[in-house]
Chains A and B, each alone.
Chain A
Amino acid sequence: MSSVPPALRFAHLAMEFPGVKALDDVSFSVEAGSIHALMGENGAGKSTLLKILSGAYQPSAGQVAIAGQVRPPASTATVLQAGVAVIYQELHLVPEMSVAENIYLGNLPHRRGWINRHALAQAARRQLARIGESIEPDVKVRQLPLAQRQMVEIAKALSRGARILAFDEPTSSLSDREVQRLFTIIRDLRADGCAILYVSHRMEEVFALCDRLTILRDGHHVTTCALATITRDDVVQKMVGRTLENVFQYTPRALKGPGLSVHGIAGPGLTAPCTWAAQAGEIFGCFGLVGAGRSELLRLIFGATRKTAGSISVGGRPVTVHSPRDAIAAGIVLCPEDRKKEGIIPGRSVLENINLSARRRTARGGVLINENWERTNAEARISQLRVRTPSAQQLIRHLSGGNQQKVILGRWLSENVKVILLDEPTRGIDIGAKSEVYAIMQTLARAGVCVIMVSSEIPEVLGVADRIAVMRSGQIAAVLERAEANAEILLRLALPVENSPPP
């Protein structure tokens, strides 16, 4: 090591939240003039680390050192003065103010309180020119496309003299061309001697752009190395902690007769009637791009949206479903995609969330809560699904995403389930919980439940499902056997056909 201290050093950082260690003894350095990637699964601690860097969180233990100087407990304002800027996914700009005002927000050039508009525009133009942008400084930020807003954010950081820039998934909503442009700017910043911390889960980008790499897993530091010395497979394995086949745990199962069949079902979000049948004991995958109508199809089956045509049968017997209540009575249940908005009651306990539906069956006379049953049932689901919670009385909003998902699964396992509809069941949950969710799906299927899983992650569908329906522009494009499906076929079927009108 050279004698020059690193631009940025994290030393033994730890961050504890009630019941969770988000970071545990994390140490690594970012050198000036380098682009340092930070990778890890959801929940690995990347966001927490960035929030400590930006001064939004104070670490429970450990230090942040900038150019060798240990930083005192910082606020977001003092961090900016120390030359550190964190550029988040959701940009922190004021949409109704001009580009120039945003760049100099809190720092506007003025004379006795009167803003010097001319000087402001000049200065903003100069800052933008530094990163090769020619946005008019008087335009309101609201009118800019996202990629340009990001440029404004970078110009804002540079105008404060930032020498350490952290980017949090900066390319998540950019087009390829915009990504290339952003990379050019980041490389220029590196040439300029800035230290860049680049948080991303996109392997291609990291290998194309970065010099060094740090991997976090479950709040722990796994490795820091030069990218030239590591392969992609190694990165995945270090992030995941195991190989992918183990995650899915697929074993063939015996099918047990008719499960869910939908016939000519139509309604909002679908462009053509859908007909297919899944067997009891089968895991039936449903793949498609965003907007292909997958969630809409599940909502129609579940009665959450009123269908305009078609029929459903469960176990070979036709059922009438006009509402979620009807669906639940027929043994069809849904774990929705957006857990926070549609799944959990955030302000209520784990126990309440588990018993939300089944209490209707178990209440005395249908009115009085059966508290004994509810307590026993909640405890049983918590241990059956290994929900990590201090007690059944814990508010569900304090649980991690994976554990919230398990509580919702527990809600439905308290019912007499014949068909379970899972909409992106592993979105936003960490890898350990993911593999547990897959295991639960297999167990359910083996017990004769018909499992329908909607997913937009190709490896997940390929790894878990027995058969895969591919949806495209609001209709079923094809239904594939496990053996005949691969990533390329799925994508080809899912992409909208050329020259077809947009859905």
Chain B
Amino acid sequence: MLPSSSSPPTASTSRGVGVVLWLDQAGMLLVLAILFTGCALGVDNFLSWVNLRGLALSVSMTGMVACTMLFCLAAGDFDLSIGSVVACAGVIAAVVMNRTQSITLGVLSALLLGAVVGFTNGFIVAKLKINALITTLATMQIVRGCALIICGGTAVGIQLEPFFALGNSSILGLPTPVWITIACFVIFSLVLNRTVFGRDTLAVGGNAEAAHLAGIPVARVKMAIFTLQGIMAALAGIVLASKYTSGQPNALTAFELDVISACVLGGVSLTGGVGSMAFVIAGVLIMGIVQNAMNLLNVDSFYQYVARGGILLIAVLFDRWKRRHPAN
């Protein structure tokens, strides 16, 4: 019997397969190591504590949301609405805190917003079977609009000073948002590998019909993923509002693309079924380091767009090449 219908190795491609197998295992972690070493040697001030601290802080937002984006991608979907949810959650947290003078209520209402948007996305995608691209493209605009409507288009300054500690304090020398991101990496990695929900996610992305026939509640899994995704975006929004001391309705446009780029760059498959937290961490850090190095080298921000787009394209081409030459 043939091992599979996918292209088996032949003499002409077996060397390629060997390379892929090796790259697949070492993966983007290797690229990350090379990139880091290169920057450490070639870019002045890169290794300074201040810079590394700033680098970690700059990727903390992306990192937090990338955790749940991993679940989304692994289940074969994706979510474009997260940038808007971040902004809207920040605005809501600010408005509610100012009205009620309660940090708790502000935070809870922002998280509730995230959960509601996420659940709506999940319900439309899983139950009404509308394509995730279209669904979240629509909610992205609706939620951004709501953020602007709520605050009348201008940033809302927050009056409760103790709240600013969340985004601006440090613990053991590392900014609090970085600790939150690290905690998310650990928690969601465990959820992916050690819980029924995590394994179901990969099964749904790997073959939704087979998962359904094996008794996995496919629609419920998808709705849970989108809801979690909304909650994590809202959490990022709360942290951001604390950092900026205000709710910014125009914050983080194109954030969703950064997050998806980071995941794909790390090697999470866009077609679902494949992904691990190590991929995501590598992808997030690679994006962050490239950005950071370009800033240190005073690369014009116009050129930074070109560079980031180019990197994403290379990552996607690599993903495709990997699928054409599956390593055994």
Binding site for B on A (CB under 8 A): 17-20, 22, 42-43, 47-48, 56-58, 73, 302, 304, 324-325, 327-328, 334, 336, 340-348, 352, 356-357, 359-360, 363, 366-369, 371, 397-402, 411, 430
Contacts and interface: CB of A to CB of B under 8 A. Distances in A.
A336 B212 CA distance: 12
Contacts of A304: 212-213
B202 interface: yes
Contact of B2 (A22, A336, A359, A369): A22
Given A20-B1, A398-B3, A359 B199 contact: yes
11 contacts: A17-B3, A18-B328, A304-B212, A324-B212, A324-B215, A345-B211, A347-B206, A352-B203, A356-B214, A368-B195, A398-B328
Given A43-B1, A359-B196, A324 B12 contact: no
Nearest to A397: B4
Nearest to B190: A368
B11 interface: yes
Contacts of A356: 203, 211, 214, 216
Interface in B206-261: 206-207, 209-217
Interface in B250-275: 273-274
B192 to A, nearest CB: 11
A352 B213 contact: no
Contact of B213 (A18, A324, A366, A371): A324
B213 A73 contact: no
A344 B207 contact: yes
Given A58-B12, A359-B199, A20 B210 contact: no
B194 interface: yes
Given A345-B203, A359-B199, 4 more contacts: A324-B214, A352-B202, A367-B197, A399-B3
A369 B1 contact: no
A435 to B, nearest CB: 15
B207 A346 contact: yes
A489 B42 CA distance: 83
B215 A328 contact: yes
B1 A346 contact: no
Q: How large is the interface on B (under 10, 10 to 19, 20 to 34, 35 or more residues)?
A: 20 to 34
Contacts of B211: 345, 356
Contact of B206 (A336, A345, A359): A345
Given A17-B8, A324-B215, A344 B210 contact: yes
A413 to B, nearest CB: 13
Given A345-B273, A398-B4, A401-B1, A369 B195 contact: yes
Contacts of B193: 369
Contacts of B10: 56-58
A201 to B, nearest CB: 16
Contact of B210 (A341, A359, A369, A401): A341
B100 interface: no
A366 B199 CA distance: 13
B11 A73 contact: yes
B307 to A, nearest CB: 32
B16 interface: no
Nearest to B203: A345
B11 A47 contact: no
Nearest to A432: B1
Given A341-B209, A356-B216, A20 B202 contact: no
Interface of B: 1-6, 8-12, 193-197, 199, 202-203, 206-207, 209-217, 273-274, 328
Contacts of A357: 214-216
Nearest to B216: A356
Contact of B196 (A18, A42, A363): A363
Contacts, number: 112
Contacts of B197: 367
B253 to A, nearest CB: 34
Nearest to A403: B1
A340 to B, nearest CB: 8
A11 B3 CA distance: 24
B39 to A, nearest CB: 34
A359 B196 CA distance: 7
B207 A48 contact: no
B214 A369 contact: no
Contact of A347 (B195, B209, B273): B273
Contact of B207 (A43, A345, A399): A345
B210 A342 contact: yes
Given A367-B197, A402-B1, A348 B212 contact: no
A57 to B, nearest CB: 5
Contacts of B195: 363, 367-369
B93 to A, nearest CB: 30
B209 A325 contact: no
A400 B3 contact: yes
Given A17-B9, A18-B328, A369-B195, A342 B209 contact: yes
B194 to A, nearest CB: 5
B274 A347 contact: yes
A367 B196 contact: yes
A369 B211 CA distance: 17
A344 B217 CA distance: 16
B206 A346 contact: yes
Nearest to A329: B215
Nearest to B212: A324
Contacts of B8: 17, 57
Contacts of B210: 336, 341-345
B202 A348 contact: yes
B2 A400 contact: yes
List the 7 closest A-B pairs by CB distance, nearest first. A400-B1, A345-B206, A58-B11, A43-B1, A328-B215, A347-B273, A356-B214
A480 B215 CA distance: 33
A341 B195 CA distance: 25
A368 B203 CA distance: 16
Given A344-B207, A346-B207, A366 B196 contact: yes
A313 to B, nearest CB: 20
Max count, chain B CB within 10 A of own CB: residue among A345, A360, A402: A345
A22 B1 CA distance: 6
A43 B217 CA distance: 35
Contact of A336 (B9, B213, B274, B328): B213
A329 B203 CA distance: 20
A61 B4 CA distance: 21
Contacts of A343: 210, 213
A348 B203 contact: yes
A203 B159 CA distance: 87
B14 to A, nearest CB: 9
Max count, chain A CB within 10 A of own CB: residue among B3, B193, B194, B212: B3
A336 B197 CA distance: 24
A17 B196 contact: no
A52 to B, nearest CB: 10
Contacts of B214: 324, 356-357, 411
A357 B216 CA distance: 7
Max count, chain A CB within 10 A of own CB: residue among B4, B206, B210, B274: B210
A201 B3 CA distance: 21
A20 B2 contact: yes
B212 A369 contact: no
